[in-house]
Structures are given as C-alpha cells and as structure tokens.
Amino acid sequence: MPYSEYRPELMGSATLEPSGPVTAGSFQSFTLVYTAGEFGLDDTGSIKIGFRFATDFGPVQFDDPTAAGYTTIEASNGAKLEYRWEFKRNIRPWSRSLYIGVMKHFLAPGDTITIRFGDRRQGSPGIRMQTFCEEEFEFRVFTDVIATYDYVAIPVSPKIKIAAGPGIEWLAVAPTLIRTGTPFKLCIKANDAWGNPSDQMNDRLHLSVEGTEVDGLVTTLTCQPGKFSAVADGLTLKEAGETVIVVRDDSGKVLCQSNPVRAIADAASQELVHFWGDTHGQSNETLGTNTAHEYFLFGRDRAFLDVMGHQGNDFQMTGSFWKNLNALTAEFDKPGKFVCIPGYEWSANTAVGGDRNVHYRREGETIHRSSHAQIADPTDMVDEETDAHTADHLFEKLKGKDCVVMAHVGGRYADITYAHDEVLETAVEVHSDWGTFEWIVRDAFDKGFRVGIVANSDGHKGRPGASYPGASFFGSQGGLTCFLAPRLDRDAIFNAMRRRHHYATTGNRMLLDVSVTTNNNSALQLPGGSTGTAETVMVRKLIMGDIAQVTDETVELQVSALGSAPIERLDIFSGPQLIETIRPHAVGELGRRVRVTMEGAEYRGRARTTVWDGSLRVNGNSIERAEMFNNWNLDRGIGSQSQDALSWKAVTTGNTCGIDLWLEEEKRGDIEIETNHVSMRLPIADIGIEDSVFEAGGLDRLLKLYRLPNLPQEHRLEHRMSVRVADNGDSPVFVRVTQIDGHKAWSSPIYLYR
C-alpha cells in the first residue's frame, strides 16, 4: 500500500481490550491504547485509527456522553490532543479514520494515548459494531511520529472477530427452472437482524409442498448449532409443473417458503434452464471484506449461487493477487455444480469511460489496468505497456480475447456514450448495492447499442449473492442475475452472456419468461464469440436477449412471471417508451391500502443518495396500520406514529422505498405529505389504481401515491399482447416486474428490426 514503510518497528504499538469475538451490530465498548515507540511522537505529529471503506462501525462522536458512539481520548502526559472522525480522509481501503493530533506538546517513548470507543462511563450504550461478519476486523494504526504527514503503519494492529447474531428471518432457496427428473436441493438458512446467516439456530423444520409433488423431500430437517444452513438434497420433480416448498416450526407456524420452482419436460436436455449468479464483488485484497477464498465460500455455501465472479479494482490488483485469484477460480469452478469466473474491475474515472467488469472465460489472461494508482510493488509496473487508460483503449486491448465486458454503476459510473464495443460489452448493470440505474439502459437505447440487463451486488461486505447494506450509505440490497443456459459450465454461461440470455433482479428469485412469436420466419443473429463474426438462423420464436430481423409489422409478446412474493405490476417497454402497464388486480379489488413510494437519486455520481425523511398526516380519516417496505437499514423506518400522522426516515439511491397505509375509511378525507423534496396534499378519494405522481427534481426522483388491494395474493401474472415493430431502427422490447414487497426484475431486451 502507498504508505511509508520507514522503520515501522520504531513507530510504537497498540493494544485493545476486550479482544474477544463480538456480535455484528451489537453495542460494545473498547479501550485502545497506543504506546509511543523509540521516536516518541513529535509536536503536531499524529496517529490515525483506520477502518476499511465498507465498514459501518460507529459512527464516532465526541459531544454527547449519553449517546451511542461517544468516544474519549487522552494522553498519559497531559498533552493537548486534537481529534476528529473522518469519513474519507485516509488512503483506501482504510478510508474511515479517527485522526488524533498532538498539539503544543509531544509524546516521549513509552507515553500513551488512550482511546475509549463507546465510553460508557457517563451513560453511553457504547459504539455499534460493524453489522456484517469479518474474521479479522482491524483497528489499523498509522503513525506520523516525525510530523511530516507521511504515515507508517505499526507492525501489528489490534484485530477482533465479528460473528453473526441469532437468526430472525428464515429463507428457503431453490432453483427456479429445472428439467423433470433433474436432482436439485433446497437450502434453508436464518439471517440475523443485519442479514448475516446465523450459525446459532437449533430448530426442527417441517417441510411441505404446495403444487407439484417433490420426490425425495423429507418431512423434517434440523438446523444445528455451528451450521449456517440446512440442506435437503436429491430432490426431483418427476412431472412438469410448479411447486413451492413451505417451511414450518414445531407449532405449525410458517417460517418461510421457497421461491417458486418450475419443472419442464426436456428429455434431450436442450432447453434453457435457470442458474443464479452474482459476478461482481470484492474481497479484502482490494476494497472488500474477508479473503477471496472466504468470498467464494460465502457465495456458494451461504448465498447458494450457481455462478460467481470476483471484480477487484484493477489499480489495487497486484500481480501476485491476480495469480492467486486465478488459482482460486480454477479451484472453485466445478462444471455441473458451480461456475467460478476470473476477472477484474477496470476502474477508470468516469471522464475516460468509467467502471467496466471484465470477465475472462479462462485463467491466465492479462489485466489491462486503468492505472497502477495503489500498486506499490515495482514488479507490477513492468506491465505498464499493457495498460488501458481510457475505455476505448480497453476495448482495443481486449479485442479478440475470450471475454465479456459489463458496464456498471458504482462509486464511479460507466459512461457508455464515451466508448462501447458491440462484441465485447454485452450488458449494463441496472441494480446493485449502490442502487437502481435504469438511466444506463436508456443511455444504451439512445445510442442504438444492443445490450442485455444484469444485476449484481458489487458487494464489499463479504456477502456476495446475499448482500445487505447494513447501516452504511448503501441504499439497497444487492442484485442477482438469472442466466438462461442448457447446462452449468463456463462455456454455457459465457454463451448466455454473449447472447444476453439473462434477466436481472433486486435480489429476489422471481421466475420470469419473456418471448416474442413472429408470423413469418425471422433472421436471428448468433454471436460469433471473441471473433465477432455473427451467423443467422431462421426462427419464429425469440427470447430475452435475442437480436432478429423481422418482416412482420407486429409481433406477439408473451410474458410469464411467477413472483417470490405477490406481484404488483408488469411494465412493458419498447426501448425507453412505456407502452403498457398490467396489474393482476382490477379497480374493483382495491381496498383501504394506500401505497406511498419514494424513488430516485440526486444525480449519477458518488453522492447520489437522496434523503427522504418526512412526515404525513391524514385529515378526516384514521390510520389503522402502517408498514414500510424496501427499508434496508434498521436505523431508518417509521418513527413516531399516531392515529392520524406518522414520520419516517428513508433513503433511496435510484431505487424505490415506501410506506403502506391501511386507512379506516377507503375514500374519506385527504392526505398531506412533507419531505425536503416534495410537499403535497391530495384528497384520498382521488387516489386510485393509477399513480398520482409528484416530481421531486434530481435524477428520476419522484413521490407517488396509488391504491392496492388490502391483501394482494396473486403471485402469477401471464400476459400476451401485440407489439409494433418500428419501420426504422431497433424496437428493444423488455419488461419490468414489480412485486408487492418492492423487489423488481428486468428482462434483457429482445431487439427487433425490420
């Protein structure tokens, strides 16, 4: 790392009490003692206690001794100290830091600085620990003992283990689309309050089926302490159909149910089935949490993924780690069981193209870095001539290589209008931990690009495939991509990527099928692999991701959605234009339930988070019940509430959150809402099935109100319609499905042209 390495053994030492394991998200009190080394610590010198970028430890505060995070700092010799908690004032990955400067005095060798994080002596509950698990959570101590602002890390900094708490939310995960007779497994886990799989469960689970019979399913399954999941393996559906597996406790209470499972009859094993992946995240070798080995283990064994990739920032990816990462992907990749893909994140500034995910089909390929900004090892600089400092140069370097590229929005965002390669860049990432970014899909349509739609976590918290934002500035759960492929191996998954045969979700496992039927033969383009030489075949059925020349003026679109929760609506698009919205309920089914949604972002860049803290009041009516959805942070949500009013705290980062109200009277009175972006008043009788929309500035920032049935039940939505094909240019037909729980899915477009 780019810190000074001058004589660290002379820079002092640090101890931490207590040093045992702690529960994620719990309140604790720690005493860290820094002891000055042989140089002492000079007047105006300083130390920093650094924490990794992704952490949501704290925050530290010095003003209220009765509040959470209260921290005290004192020098053993009475030296005056200046200190502040800094969000991003240290070299990454140790971005969060506590700065402590020595003013008008100095520390002699052996003098100490004592830091009490979460000092409880005056009533503070302590400081909240990081909300996600980490084997070695480090209080990284940096020293500037010569007062040059050139920091040196001490040789050994204090570390503790952060473990999961008791499970409170049960989840059951199964495949979504399989072949009859093909064995599959059901995986059950219980997450703690912050989304960490718990190993503290000791429960007997009772399993039953709603739908097609599942052969091999046991009636009971036991979660054992020390285990993070319970697995029922060797299950099959011998007949075509759909099923859901319900999980109950000893009392008969339903704990959870699996996502829907559909089996198709396919004796030749040629039809496409579903494999779920998260190909975008990092470990602590770059900016993430836990090691790359632990990263892959979590995704495979605790998030139950079929497909994984690793995307460390290229300017931190040393040659030795790249070699180690390639060894790991080769080790974890097991055709038929688990696909593990080598790759990296090309992490250039947005001005020269922005972030891209590079996925290689094989190990041993070259990293074409955007820069070497944080690679201190001079042996890694010999590859400078292979670097690509701009996006167009990246595509030049990758031309002819066996890889695919995806454009994504993280801290930096991809500017696909700056550069794009129609062969290499197969998709854009519409959703991740960072939020929802439908605007990048619109950018592609505006330029006439033909890209698929994916979602991943871009996770930094060591939870790929099951990535929750915790208490940090991340505003949403990480996404998943469902790949449509005939089998589970790299060749099949890469073919799915190149043909855009995939759909994206916000982390749910909805079953989605989108296709187009033509009256006359259509010329379907087949990708030419790394060469880009395409072939065509004549067909009359097209699926998501296909590109085809059609002779028909109109085609028939078929959509089948089977939600992991009841479905709220289906939006159908031709390019950026919304052409129809379908709901599984009619006006006559609406009840006393009013939904208030908040969505959008400040702008495209890093500080996109929009704060939606606000309040509402109903006049001439009463609130029987109120619930928040898509609120991923336990510190936010509904606050004060009375019979006619409530307040809340919420954020969005391009995604959607909101509040459901069950009113005493269906149409009486009016509703007032106050936020820092929207102030509005509306008669409750005017709230119907269609959205009442209030513009809120920013980027796609809106407040909406509409009415729902009191208790929606419909998980299934089937729809057929005729869609017109434009006379000139592409007609990219795709859908977005929204569930009642706020989760969404997007199909990759079917690109039709005359």
Report in angstroms the alpha-carbon separations of 25 from 29, 96, 127, 136, 180. 13, 17, 9, 15, 43
The whole-chain average pLDDT of the chain stands at 95
Closest of 707, 440, 483, 480 to residue 593, by C-alpha: 707
Residue 379 pLDDT > 70? no
DSSP helix/strand/coil, 648: strand
Instruction: Provide the percentage of residues in the chain whose pLDDT is more than 90.
Output: 92
Q: Which value, to the nearest 10 degrees, does the dihedral of the CA atoms of residues 58, 64, 70, 75 take?
A: 130
Spatial separation of the C-alpha atoms in residues 434 and 429, rounded to whole Å: 11
Cα separation, 288 vs 135, whole angstroms: 13
CATH number of 8-163: 2.60.40.740
d(CA 679, CA 520): 53
Q: Are 462 and 287 in contact (CB under 8 A)?
A: no
CA dihedral 365, 369, 375, 377 (to 10 degrees): 50
Q: What is the CA radius of gyration of the chain?
A: 27
Residues of the chain with CATH 2.60.40.10: 169-271
Given a cut of 60, whether residue 382 has pLDDT beyond it is: no
One-letter amino acid at 107 equals L
CB-facing half-sphere around the CA of 325: CA atoms within 13 A: 33
pLDDT in tens, 349-359: 999 999 999 99
| Number of other CB atoms surrounding residue 556 within 10 Å | 15
Taking domain 169-271, whether its CATH number is 2.60.40.10 is answered by yes
Tell me, what DSSP letter sits at residue 87?
S
Res 248 pLDDT > 70? yes
The Cα 555–Cα 550 span in angstroms is: 9
Q: Which tokens belong to 101? A: 């400067």
Instruction: Output the DSSP codes for 513-541.
Output: EEEEEEEEEEEEEE--GGGT--EEEEEEE
pLDDT per position as a tens digit, 52-70: 999 999 999 999 999 999 9
In this prediction, residue 383 carries a pLDDT of: 63
DSSP 413: B
Q: Please give the structure tokens belonging to residue 41.
A: 């610590």
What strands lie across the sheet with 645-649, from one edge to the other? 637-641, 645-649, 614-619, 670-675, 679-683
pLDDT value at 503 more than 70 = yes
Q: How far is CA 713 from the centre of its chain?
A: 27
Distance CA 258, CA 306 (A): 17
Determine the longest span between alpha carbons in the chain, in angstroms: 88
Which of 751, 361, 701, 367 is closest to 534 using CA atoms? 751
The answer to whether residue 531 scores a pLDDT higher than 80 is no
586 CB-near residues (< 8 Å, 6+ apart):
none
- Closest alpha carbon to 336 in 481, 487, 232: 487
Spatial distance between the Cα atoms of 439 and 417, rounded to a whole number of angstroms: 12
pLDDT at position 209 over 90: yes
One-letter amino acid for residue 640 of the chain: S
Phi, psi of 397 (to 5 degrees): -65, -35
Check if the beta carbon of residue 354 is closer than 8 Å to that of residue 412: yes
Backbone φ and ψ for 351, nearest 5 degrees, come out as: -60, -25
CA 582 from centre of chain: 27
User: Distance between CA 603 and CA 350 in Å, rounded?
Assistant: 14
Task: Give the pair of three-digit tokens for residue 268.
Answer: 């030749």
How many angstroms separate the CA atoms of 15 and 49, rounded?
Answer: 12
Contact yes or no for 197/173 (Cβ under 8 A): no
Which candidate, 185, 186, 189, 187, places its Cα nearest to that of 170? Answer: 189
How far is 732 from 445, CA to CA, in rounded Å? 8
Q: How far apart are CA 298 and CA 296, in angstroms?
A: 5
- Return the DSSP state at 258: P
| Distance, CA of 405 to CA of 524 (rounded, Å) | 22
CA 412, CA 671: separation in Å to the nearest integer? 39
For residues 29 and 17, give the distance between their C-alpha atoms in angstroms, rounded to a whole number: 9
Of 462, 431, 406, which Cα lies nearest the Cα of 164?
A: 462
Distance CA 486, CA 178 (A): 10
Q: Please give the span between the terminal C-alpha atoms of the chain, in angstroms, as a whole number.
A: 55
Enumerate the β-bridge partners of residue 597.
658, 704
Question: For residue 2, what pLDDT is reported?
Answer: 63
Q: Which 3-state string (H, E, C) describes 691-708?
A: CEEEECCCEEEEEEEEEE
pLDDT in tens, 566-609: 999 999 999 999 999 999 999 999 999 999 999 999 999 999 99
SS3 content of the chain, % helix, strand, coil (to 5): 10, 45, 45
Q: What is the dihedral of CA 450, 456, 460, 461, to 10 degrees?
A: 170
Q: What is the pLDDT of residues 3-53, one digit of tens each?
A: 888 999 999 999 999 998 999 999 999 999 999 999 999 999 999 999 999
Which pLDDT score is estimated for 185? 97
The angle at the Cα of 482, spanning 480 to 486, to the nearest 5 degrees, equals: 155
Amino acid symbol at 752: L
Domain at 275-507, CATH from 3.30.465.10, 3.20.20.140, 3.40.50.20, 3.40.50.1010: 3.20.20.140
Distance (Å, rounded) from C-alpha 501 to C-alpha 485? 8
Strand positions, DSSP E, 91-139: 96-103, 112-117, 127-128, 134-138
pLDDT confidence of residue 269: 85
- Determine the Cα–Cα distance for residues 494 and 529; give it in Å rounded to an integer: 9
Q: Where in the chain is the domain with CATH 2.60.40.740?
A: 8-163
Cα–Cα separations (whole angstroms), residue 578 to 112, 156, 525? 65, 58, 26
- Domain covering 588-708 in this structure, CATH number: 2.60.40
- Residue 298 is given by DSSP the state H
Q: Where, residue-wise, is CATH 3.20.20.140 in the chain?
A: 275-507
User: Alpha-carbon distance 601 to 624, whole Å?
Assistant: 31
CA-CA distance, 512 to 505, in Å (whole number)?
10
Q: What is the pLDDT of residues 148-180, one digit of tens each?
A: 999 999 999 999 999 999 999 999 999 999 999
pLDDT tens column, 62-111: 999 999 999 999 999 999 999 999 988 888 899 999 999 999 899 999 99
